[in-house]
Chain A
Amino acid sequence: MGVMKIGHVNLRVLDMAAARNHYENIIGLIVTDEDEAGNLYFKGWDEWDKYSVILSPSDHAGMDHVAYKVETDADLDTFTKSIEAYGIAVEQLPAGVLIDCGRAIRFQLPSGHTMCLFAEKTFVGKSTGDKNPAPWPLDVKGVGAHWLDHCLLVCPLDPENQINTIADNVNFLSKCLGFRLTEQALVGPDEDIQAVAFLTVTNTPHDIAFVPGPTAGFHHASFFLPNWGDILRSADIMAMNKVKIDVTPTRHGITRGETIYFFDPSGNRNETFAGLGYLATPDMPVITWTEEEVPRGIFYHSGELNPAFTEVYT
């Protein structure tokens, strides 16, 4: 039992045609459905389930919700009890409220972000199939992202007023949903303010992560690519298409990931991310970054923070 993996992220966009072009032709996701409300559904070519990204038309950018897939239907009852016992209200969603999903539960993280859990989503498979599959399909568009890897959320932090929703999220996800803390930054004069946190439920370095900000928001959704060469090619494709690149290819100290950051046409930040980094097994110690070394944890080569990277979010 337990949370299995990230299921999908629902992003709000200002211009659906521009957003569709970005996610379909540049990131290379596959459009799998469009509903009457104008929402678009996408999957990576290397994902089995029907979608991992929902785009919703809106007058403001940002994230509507993030959803994780649990192993069994009964997990939804178990988690409802544990989340309510923790003191957080849980909403029961009948099958189909999350389109093409079975029943789901919805609740708010201590940071104010909306999270859903579901156990079943329509299976559509991969074009390479599940019998003697080719290593990759020939008809991939753009960057050809394999799958939605993780998301990073901006969470309110105000130590002077004893507010730290990063630490609150870590406590909640660890105690209630079985997430494991892999890496953290401890800052402040006593080095006790947990200002950055990376958590996993699989064996990758992170399935969700939190950074501080003045208000709750969406920092980025990340899509997996196999290697560093793919990250360079990804940057080339962004430049050819005049996509606004936020951070050119580099390496993170935290997670060791190889990365490029860029924005979708509504200003929601995306990442393509390569390198497994390391195997995040439950027996590993928590890796801690000190305040002085946080910039290197984020951008390993420059060791310098880019104000736009830490401040700009939707």
Chain B
Amino acid sequence: MKIEQTLKNHNITILDTNEIFKCSENDHLLVGMRSLGKKGIPSGCHGGGCGVCKVKIHSDKNNYKTLSMSRAHISKEDEDNGVFLACRVFPLGDIELNVIGKIKRKCINGSKNFVFNY
């Protein structure tokens, strides 16, 4: 007998801001966050390459699955400590996390306008 499975939505909590959003098991965390207009985790390439969406997940490892992501940003030790790129994390249960990644900004000394992030 074929069992129809409905996709579940899970609660994702950004502990830094107490922002909570729903994310489907089919979507990675940034799709869940952005499609509801929510903010909190920096959103970059959505492919596990650029590293800006680094998070520390406090929930049980059975509450999510991950896809491969860049070793330039996430080491094996990071993975063992629950540190991942949010764009490669798909929820299987509720998740609580802290944001580690950020978009770095620095002005050129004495320049009139902020122009470049570096």
Binding site for B on A (CB under 8 A): 14-15, 59-62, 157-160, 187-189, 193, 195, 211-214, 244, 246, 263-269, 291-292, 294-295, 305, 307-308, 310-314
Contacts and interface: CB of A to CB of B under 8 A. Distances in A.
Nearest to A246: B45
Contacts of B44: 267, 308, 311-312
Interface string B61-79: 0000001111111000000
Contacts of B49: 14, 60-62, 263, 266-268, 314
Contacts of B68: 14-15, 59
B115 interface: yes
Interface string B36-57: 0000001111111110100000
11 contacts: A14-B70, A15-B68, A62-B72, A158-B118, A188-B108, A189-B109, A189-B110, A263-B45, A311-B105, A311-B117, A312-B103
Nearest to A157: B118
B72 A61 contact: yes
B112 A291 contact: yes
- Interface size band for B: 20 to 34
B111 A189 contact: yes
Contacts of B42: 308
Nearest to B72: A60
A313 B50 CA distance: 5
Contacts of A212: 116, 118
Interface string B91-118: 0000000000001110011111101111
